């Protein structure tokens, strides 16, 4: 009898032990990064481009001697843009060879929300590059979370400003109708608080129509749009399937594409091409402009792809919207590491999460600095501060000409940035109160 | 009033299994598992989903009702617990968890009603309503989410007797206790009169009815208890694993995964729920870790990610062909084989 228990016991124990991941290794001067990528599923175009660029840039830095000699390492984990899997990936990537990650980037609002409360405790920076929790722009309540490269509330405010300009001024907006056609998820609803307030102030009628995920069925919603006869439609979709379906349906109900404005996560070549001619004329927002004319993009193309170390399977996607956006995010990581090394006297050494956080908060990407790096014009110049974790808060409008995006406006801020900031602070204060968080003092 | 002491209902095998598992869960794992990763990413979700799989097992494996919508009941339990903690903060956590389960059970009864009229694959379609209705309801009415602008809310900390259970290890202990209690409860039910009734209905409902078993009562009971298990599992899943609540986390895909756990694990077995949950949950993690560790930088990462899905799919097919009765059956066979080998080798000598 005892033998039997012993056997079943050892089998269970052995199967457990074989699964335990060994934690060991020597500490070299390396800095370890997590790549929580989403390469399969409906959001694969986004994930392959964005995370591909991050890996390409890390490779590029390594090929040029690292960050003051510190070599960069990384480990990848597939999240499938799924919040549950993102939590698992976060835990799995958290530590490797005794070194902890300093930054985490989910490229997805659901994933960001799933890990956001772990950041302060684990001392990891959550870098939301133009997605995620908006009120994290208030650094006093969210010291560990950043949404630099501008959040959704600024984005919707810039869109409404663009509409007002097209209509010939805010006074002409009175009585106009906007349909917010969005995917029915937290991400789709994220801009609404700001949008409702602005619409109310301007006397604009706002109609909210939601599309259940994954958003490939939109016929009934577009019939509703046709019935409403709106002046503008703001389309808040995710994944190239949903985004291209939106434009083909707009064409079907005869809604003019130059009255249709896409969100940053529908503003990529991969979203436009599947819709074919139906896409021509559609407006889309950018927080990082596409194009391979930037010197850094060219350098990566020559050095990294020239050496056969490129991460993209299709080299023609270098310089596309998602790739450039990932590059913008990775540049911020490396600049933050440089800052952290200098601020804490650790030049040539790996930095900790807390040091990285200080370095990230001290980011000041002036036009001169952007020019040195070689991405001048690709992103709006910005600075981050203890209070303001949003960065520039600016967006550029692009229009699809059937083949590529054409930039139609310069980097534009909302009409009343202070108003958007007030919304952010109110929302953050509510969160702080509900969760008994004492706001950090920013001298 | 107990006519029989509880302990007498179990065979010695049951008791030894129980003791071994308890020692493993409460004494050995705390000592050999050092990293938070194992608690937060493997053990906690595994135990939560096992509990949900037991729920699915009850309604599908035992009562024979093809139901799909476990994730809906999980969402009901999770949001019920959130609102109970928010609005009735004086309730102790175990009580609130129980009430959350009961609320989910109430939904189970409502959505179990079609089972009285339709069966088989048609019932599956009818029960899908629970999945969509519950998620839609939570999304539609802001009250359930305390009017949060983003629609994703933070789960409160677990506090039992003024002691917060917030570290991964502490949360693991909470879940272990809940899972242990509910599993014993489930095993008891399936072996007792309730379970016999379920199986009678599963095997032939007409015959069961003619023997005096009330179909109405039995089927709804199965749905209610199943939803109770799913509700508790969902609440724990949100409060310990996700730590945030988003209705999208409880989508139809999760329902399907729980269904697959039960089918792969073995219909009509409680151990199958645990084995199936382990396979469906952990195998992709193992594959992904393996793929990224060994082929890091060698093969295009996009291809690795896709290959993982292919391998996982192939394995499911292989398992279903090799052992249609599920992995619990494989495990039984393995045990028998080892046992017979050992008794051949040593058993004879001992007796001689």
Does residue A2 lie within any of the structural domains? Answer: no
Q: What is the 3-state secondary structure (H, E, C) of A303-331?
A: HHHCCCCCCCCCHHHCCCHHHHHHHHHHH
Choice between A395 and A4, residue whose per-residue pLDDT is larger: A395
Q: Which residues of A touch B20 (CB under 8 A)?
A: 5, 8-9, 12
Nearest-Å Rg of the Cα atoms of chain B is: 21
Domain of A279? Answer: 152-286
* Predicted pLDDT at A41: 82
Using CB atoms and an 8 Å cut-off, which of residues 61-80 of chain A contact chain B? 75-78
Render pLDDT for A91-119 as a digit per residue (tens, 0 to 9).
889 988 889 999 999 988 888 888 888 89
Residues 6+ apart with CB under 8 A from B155: B82, B238, B239, B242, B243, B244, B245
Contact B105, B72 (CB under 8 A): no
Residues A275 and A301 in one domain: no
Answer with the residue of higher pLDDT: B21 or B227: B227
B90 to chain A, minimum CA–CA distance in Å? Answer: 17
Which residues in chain B are contacts of A87 at CB distance < 8 A? Answer: 40-41, 241-242
* Helix or strand holding residue A206 (H, E): strand A205-211
Q: Is the domain of A66 the same as that of A130?
A: yes
A233 with A202, same domain: the answer is yes
Q: Which of A5, A37, A88 sits opposite B301 (nearest CB)?
A: A37
Domain membership flag for residue A413: no
The stretch B114-136 carries a mean pLDDT of 86
pLDDT tens digit string along A21-59? 443 344 458 999 999 998 888 888 899 999 999 999 999
Domain boundaries, chain B: 33-351
Q: Does A39 touch chain B (CB under 8 A)?
A: yes
Confidence class for position B5, pLDDT limits 50, 70, 90 = very low
pLDDT attached to residue A155: 94
Q: What is the pLDDT of residues B303-337, one digit of tens each?
A: 777 888 888 888 888 888 888 888 888 888 888 88
Greater confidence (A66 vs B163) lies with A66
Q: How many CB atoms lie within 10 A of CB B305?
A: 26
Residue B268 pLDDT grade (very low, low, confident, very high; cuts 50, 70, 90): confident
Kindly list the residues from chain A whose CB atom is less than 8 angstroms away from the CB atom of residue B288: 77-78
Decide which of 3.30.450, 1.10.3470, 1.10.10, 3.40.50 is the CATH code for B33-351. 1.10.3470
Q: Domain count for chain A, please give it.
A: 2
Instruction: Work out the widest C-alpha separation in chain A, in whole angstroms.
Output: 88
User: Hey, are the CB atoms on A19 and B286 less than 8 Å from each other?
Assistant: yes
Between A100 and B154, whose confidence is greater? A100
- For residue A405, is it within any domain? no
Judgement on whether residues A274 and A353 belong to the same structural domain of the protein: no
Q: Closest chain A residue to B248 measured between Cα atoms? A: A185
Q: Is the pLDDT of residue A199 over 90?
A: yes
The encoded tokens of residue B348 equal 């004879």
Residue B236 Cα, gap to closest chain A Cα (Å): 14
Residue where one domain finishes, among candidates A223, A252, A286: A286
| Per-residue pLDDT band at A326 (split at 50, 70, 90) | very high
A370 confidence band (pLDDT: 50, 70, 90):
very high
In terms of CA atoms, which chain B residue is nearest residue A133?
B150
Closest by CA position to A267, among listed A329, A323, A322, A223: A322
Which pLDDT value is given to residue A158?
95
Nearest CA in chain B to A424: B149
The pLDDT value given to residue A329: 95
Do A92 and A103 lie in one domain? The reply is yes
Closest residue on chain B to A196 (Cα): B149
Q: Is the pLDDT of residue B8 over 60?
A: no
**pLDDT tens per residue, range A122-167:** 999 999 998 888 889 999 999 999 988 889 999 999 999 999 999 9
Contact B250, B48 (CB under 8 A): no
Q: What is the mean pLDDT of residues B209-236?
A: 94
Assess whether A296 and A437 both reside in one domain.
yes
Banded pLDDT at A189 (limits 50, 70, 90) = confident
Inspect the interface and report whether the beta carbons of A9 and B289 lie closer than 8 Å: no
Residues A295-307 pLDDT 10s: 999 999 999 999 9
Same domain, A180 and A73: no
Q: Domain holding A443: CATH number?
A: 3.40.50.2300
Instruction: Please determine, for residue B107, whether its predicted confidence score (pLDDT) is greater than 70.
Output: yes
CA distance B278 to chain A (A): 12
Between B306 and A206, residue with greater pLDDT: A206
Quick one: A208 and A254 in the same domain? yes
A37 CB within 8 Å of a chain B CB: yes
Residues A312 and A443 in one domain: yes
Banded pLDDT at B352 (limits 50, 70, 90): very low
- B145 secondary structure, DSSP code: G
CB pairs under 8 A between A and B: 130
User: Whole-angstrom Cα distance, residue A395 to residue A168?
Assistant: 20
End of a domain among A234, A269, A286?
Answer: A286
The pLDDT value given to residue B151: 59
Q: What is the pLDDT of residue A23?
A: 38
Residue A385 lies in a domain: yes
- SS3 state at A347: coil
CA end-to-end distance (rounded Å), chain B: 47
**Mutant choice from A113, A182, A313, A420 vs B, greatest count of B C-beta within 10 A:** A113
End-to-end CA distance of chain A: 70
The more confidently predicted of residues A425 and B140 is A425
- Using the 3D structure, point to which of A227, A257, A286 is the last residue of a domain: A286
A264: in domain: yes
Give A193→chain B minimum CA distance, Å: 7
Cis peptide before A99 (omega within 30 of 0): no
Q: Is residue A410 one of the residues assigned to a domain?
A: no
| Shared domain check, A320 and A269 | no
Greatest Cα pair distance in chain B: 76
> Could you tell me if A162 and A85 lie in one domain?
no
Task: Tell if the CB–CB gap between A83 and B150 is shorter than 8 Å.
Answer: no
Angle at B145 between CA B144 and CA B148, to 5 degrees: 150
Is A305 in the same domain as A440? Answer: yes
């Amino acid at each position: 009898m005892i033998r039997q228990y012993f056997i079943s016991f050892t089998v269970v124990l052995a199967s457990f032990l074989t699964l335990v991941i060994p934690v060991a290794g020597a500490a070299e001067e390396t800095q370890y990064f997590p790549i929580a990528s989403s390469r399969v599923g409906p959001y694969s175009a986004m994930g392959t481009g964005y995370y591909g660029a991050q890996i390409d840039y890390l490779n590029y830095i390594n090929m040029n001697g690292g960050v003051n000699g510190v070599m960069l390492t990384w480990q990848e984990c597939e999240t499938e843009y799924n919040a549950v899997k993102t939590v698992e990936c976060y835990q799995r990537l958290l530590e490797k060879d005794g070194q902890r990650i300093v930054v985490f980037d989910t490229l997805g609002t659901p994933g960001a929300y799933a890990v956001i409360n772990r950041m302060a405790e684990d001392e990891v920076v959550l870098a939301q590059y133009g997605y995620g929790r908006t009120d994290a722009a208030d650094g006093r309540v969210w010291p560990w979370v950043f949404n630099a490269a501008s959040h959704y509330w600024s984005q919707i405010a810039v869109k409404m400003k663009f509409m007002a300009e097209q209509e010939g001024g805010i006074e002409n907006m009175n009585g106009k109708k906007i349909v917010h056609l969005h995917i029915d998820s937290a991400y789709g609803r994220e801009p609404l608080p700001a949008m409702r307030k602005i619409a109310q102030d301007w006397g604009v009628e706002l109609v909210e129509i939601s599309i259940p995920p994954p958003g490939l069925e939109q016929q009934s919603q577009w019939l509703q749009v046709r019935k409403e006869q709106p002046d503008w439609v703001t389309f808040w979709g995710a994944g190239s399937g949903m985004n291209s379906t939106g434009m083909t349906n707009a064409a079907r109900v005869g809604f003019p594409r130059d009255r249709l404005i896409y969100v940053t996560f529908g503003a990529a070549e991969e979203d436009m091409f599947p819709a074919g001619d139906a896409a021509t004329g559609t407006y889309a927002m950018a927080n990082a402009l596409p194009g391979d004319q930037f010197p850094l993009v060219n350098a990566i193309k020559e050095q990294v792809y020239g050496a056969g170390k490129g991460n993209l399977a299709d080299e023609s996607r270098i310089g596309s919207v998602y790739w450039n956006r990932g590059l913008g995010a990775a540049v911020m990581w490396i600049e933050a590491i440089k800052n952290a090394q200098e601020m804490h006297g650790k030049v040539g050494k790996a930095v900790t999460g807390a040091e990285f956080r200080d370095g990230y908060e001290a980011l000041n990407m002036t036009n001169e600095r952007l020019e040195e790096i070689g991405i001048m014009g690709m992103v709006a110049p910005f600075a981050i501060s203890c209070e303001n974790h949003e960065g520039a808060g600016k967006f550029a409008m692009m229009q699809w000409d059937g083949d590529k995006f054409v930039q139609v406006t310069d980097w534009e801020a909302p009409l009343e940035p202070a108003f958007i900031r007030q919304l952010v602070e109110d929302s953050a204060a509510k969160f702080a109160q509900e969760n008994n968080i004492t706001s950090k003092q920013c001298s | 009033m107990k006519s029989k002491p509880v302990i007498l209902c179990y065979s010695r095998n049951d008791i030894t299994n129980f003791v071994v598992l308890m020692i493993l869960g409460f004494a050995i794992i705390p000592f050999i598992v050092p990293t938070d990763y194992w608690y937060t990413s493997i053990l906690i979700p595994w135990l939560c989903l096992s509990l949900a799989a037991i729920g699915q097992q009850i309604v599908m494996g035992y009562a024979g009702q093809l139901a799909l919508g476990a994730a809906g009941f999980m969402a009901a339990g999770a949001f019920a617990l959130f609102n109970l903690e928010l609005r009735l903060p004086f309730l102790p956590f175990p009580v609130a968890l129980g009430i959350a389960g009961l609320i989910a059970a109430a939904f189970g009864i409502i959505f179990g009603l079609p089972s009285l009229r339709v069966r088989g694959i048609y019932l599956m379609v009818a029960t899908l309503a629970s999945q969509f209705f519950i998620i839609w309801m939570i999304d539609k009415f802001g009250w359930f989410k305390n009017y949060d602008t983003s629609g994703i809310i933070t789960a409160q900390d677990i506090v039992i007797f003024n002691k917060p259970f917030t570290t991964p290890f502490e949360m693991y202990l909470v879940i272990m206790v809940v899972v242990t209690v509910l599993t014993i409860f489930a095993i008891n039910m399936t072996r007792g009169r309730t379970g016999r009734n379920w199986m009678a209905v599963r095997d032939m409902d007409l015959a069961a009815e003619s023997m005096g078993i009330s179909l109405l009562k039995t089927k709804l009971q199965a749905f209610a208890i199943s939803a109770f298990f799913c509700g508790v599992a969902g609440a724990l899943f949100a409060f310990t694993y996700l730590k945030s609540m988003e209705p999208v986390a409880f989508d139809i895909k999760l329902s399907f995964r729980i269904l697959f756990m039960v089918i792969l694990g073995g219909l009509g077995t409680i151990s199958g729920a645990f084995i199936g949950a382990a396979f469906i949950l952990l195998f992709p993690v193992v594959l992904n870790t393996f793929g990224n560790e060994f082929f890091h930088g060698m093969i295009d990462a996009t291809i690795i990610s896709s290959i993982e899905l292919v391998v996982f799919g192939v394995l499911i097919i292989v398992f279903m062909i090799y052992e249609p009765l599920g992995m619990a059956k494989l495990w039984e066979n393995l045990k028998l084989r080892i046992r017979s080998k050992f008794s051949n080798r040593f058993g004879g000598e001992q007796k001689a």
